[in-house]
């Protein structure tokens, strides 16, 4: 079984060192290519997508409605924007359309980082030199003279593929400026500052390179540490804070093992996967072995749609009458034919399990895990394993995870773009969904506007308080 489950593919691509291709925003595809790309995405989803029951869309009718829309696009950029709207109807974070970099480039940011709190948008970080212009904690009110909610509803949300409401909002902030891709368009914005003043700030789009070469500032005037695969910092009370920011590289296992001498002398450990967008589920399981003596770690159960042409042909006749659930219980051929015709026959895969064969001493001190809205895919698979531990209690603090995982089917599209379709449906062993919901924390802790202004990490602070005030509540169930 392939356990590789990559989340937030676009983030990984943006972070790559791939050279920028010369841009031609006026390029256009032939009508044949436009229809071929739309048809390929429709067809792959029709036969392989794992979550049609989570949508409210008639997929065939939507396909017909989008044919004239894609034909009327005047540039490749507009064409891919239209495909993104088509894709977004499926409401899935592992089902996406990616435009070619030849028309996107790197010009996709203003010099502010934003955070959604209770469906309002606040400035969480600014580039150095701008803190006097736009104070951290300011609420974004308008973009292009439109109220922000209206702007989101018209220009952003219809293009966002997301499995949960919080994923939709986070993704929207990442794509807030995707209605254009050049560095000449100026976005006028208004903000309400923390002291109640309304201010205006106009900004062009910054390139990825400009952002990477600049210094970000938090509310307390400090700069966040540079992103890296993992990091160990010792907190007050000899508490080890271990950041595991990706499971996309097996090096993180070796880096974790290098931390073991310090971890063994710590009084408590905080495993932080709030920024972990996924990778290989095996990596998280391998690290978890150090925190439990349970001999078998149990992850998600999975299933995928199964299609056999002859059964669909037989099902065309069976479906002329309403589904007979009584007959289906005693006649497997009838059940399979009918369900194959309707696209609802499933192959049940094996439950993800890992033998805990670790020969080294376990880490026996209290442990908590920090998760959040950016915790996705293989990182969520780790949370599912933790949730299903039978004898070991490891509390999860923070916010619900992103609520999206699975095995995407990737394929190329005309003009240099690509897409992927989620083909695998993961659940808890008892069949309960966490995709579309997120793994909920044991202790809910969310950032506040005041924590942005002060630059405090309230989730980390709460974890430290739990480990120092009630460590006996952690460990055995």
CB 136 within 8 A of CB 66: no
For 436-448, give the DSSP string.
Answer: TT-PPPSEE----
CB 120 within 8 A of CB 194: no
- If pLDDT is split at 50, 70 and 90, which confidence band does 223 have? confident
For 211-271, give the DSSP string.
Answer: HHTS-EE-TTSPPPPPP-SEEEEEETTTEEEEEE--BSSTHHHHHHHHHHHHHTT-SEEEE
* Token output for 205: 């789009």
Q: How far apart are CA 302 and CA 291, in angstroms?
A: 25
* Ramachandran angles phi, psi of 204, nearest 5°: -80, 175
pLDDT, tens only, 52-80: 999 989 999 999 999 999 999 999 999 99
Which pTM value belongs to this model?
A: 0.87
pLDDT, tens only, 278-315: 999 999 999 999 999 999 999 999 999 999 999 999 99
Q: How far apart are CA 289 and CA 273, in angstroms?
A: 16
- If pLDDT is split at 50, 70 and 90, which confidence band does 210 have? low
* Ramachandran angles phi, psi of 178, nearest 5°: -80, 0
State how beta strands 443-444 and 396-398 pair: parallel
pLDDT, tens only, 432-451: 999 999 999 999 999 999 99
Q: Does residue 111 have a pLDDT over 80?
A: yes
**Which segment of 10-24, 194-208, 241-255, 433-447 scores lowest on mean pLDDT?**
10-24
* Ramachandran angles phi, psi of 85, nearest 5°: -65, -40
Q: How far is CA 354 from each of CA 271, 303, 382, 432, 462, rounded to the nearest angstrom?
A: 20, 18, 11, 20, 31
Paired strand residues for 127: 216
The confidence score (pLDDT) of residue 300 equals 95
Average pLDDT value for the chain:
89
The confidence score (pLDDT) of residue 209 equals 66
The confidence score (pLDDT) of residue 177 equals 81
The confidence score (pLDDT) of residue 471 equals 66
Q: How far apart are CA 116 and CA 156, in angstroms?
A: 14
Mean pLDDT of 267-274: 97
């Amino acid at each position: 079984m392939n356990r590789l489950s990559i989340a937030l593919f676009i983030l990984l691509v943006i972070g790559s060192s791939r050279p920028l291709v010369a841009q031609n925003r006026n390029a256009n595809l032939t009508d044949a290519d436009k229809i071929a790309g739309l048809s390929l995405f429709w067809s792959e989803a029709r036969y392989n997508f794992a979550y049609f029951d989570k949508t409210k869309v008639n997929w065939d009718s939507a396909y017909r409605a989008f044919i004239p829309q894609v034909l009327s696009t005047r540039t490749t950029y507009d064409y891919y924007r239209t495909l993104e709207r088509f894709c977004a109807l499926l409401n899935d974070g592992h089902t996406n359309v990616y435009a070619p970099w030849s028309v996107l480039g790197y010009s996709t940011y203003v010099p502010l980082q934003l955070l959604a709190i209770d469906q309002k948008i606040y400035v969480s970080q600014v580039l150095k030199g701008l803190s006097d212009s736009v104070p951290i904690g300011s609420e974004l009110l308008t973009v292009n003279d439109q109220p922000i909610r209206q702007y989101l509803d018209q220009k952003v949300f219809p293009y966002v593929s997301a499995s949960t409401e919080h994923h939709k909002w986070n993704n929207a902030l990442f794509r807030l400026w995707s209605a254009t891709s050049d560095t000449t368009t100026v976005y006028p914005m208004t903000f309400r500052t923390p002291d109640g003043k309304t201010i205006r700030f106009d900004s062009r789009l910054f390139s990825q390179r400009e952002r990477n070469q600049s210094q970000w500032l938090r509310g307390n005037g400090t700069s966040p540490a540079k992103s890296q695969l993992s990091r160990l910092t010792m907190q007050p009370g000899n508490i080890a804070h271990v950041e595991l920011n990706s499971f996309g590289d097996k090096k993180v296992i070796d880096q974790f093992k290098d931390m073991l001498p310090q971890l063994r002398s710590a009084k408590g450990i905080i495993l932080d996967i709030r920024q972990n967008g996924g990778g290989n589920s095996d990596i998280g399981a391998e690290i978890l072995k150090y925190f439990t003596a349970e001999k078998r770690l149990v992850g998600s159960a999975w299933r995928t749609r199964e299609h056999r042409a002859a059964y669909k042909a037989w099902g065309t006749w069976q479906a002329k009458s309403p589904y007979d659930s009584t007959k289906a219980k005693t006649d497997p051929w009838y059940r399979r034919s009918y369900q194959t015709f309707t696209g609802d026959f499933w192959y049940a895969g094996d439950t993800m399990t890992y033998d805990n064969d670790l020969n080294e001493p376990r880490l026996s001190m209290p442990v908590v895990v920090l998760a959040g809205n950016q915790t996705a895919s293989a990182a969520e698979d780790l949370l599912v394993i933790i949730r299903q531990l039978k004898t070991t209690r490891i509390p999860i603090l923070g916010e619900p995870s992103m609520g999206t995982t699975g095995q995407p089917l990737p394929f190329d599209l005309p003009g240099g773009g690509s897409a992927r379709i989620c083909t695998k449906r993961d659940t808890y062993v008892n069949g309960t969904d966490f995709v579309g919901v997120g793994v909920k924390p044991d202790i809910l802790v969310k950032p506040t506007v005041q924590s942005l202004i002060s630059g405090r990490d309230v989730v980390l602070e709460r974890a430290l308080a739990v480990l120092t005030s009630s460590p006996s509540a952690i460990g055995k169930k």
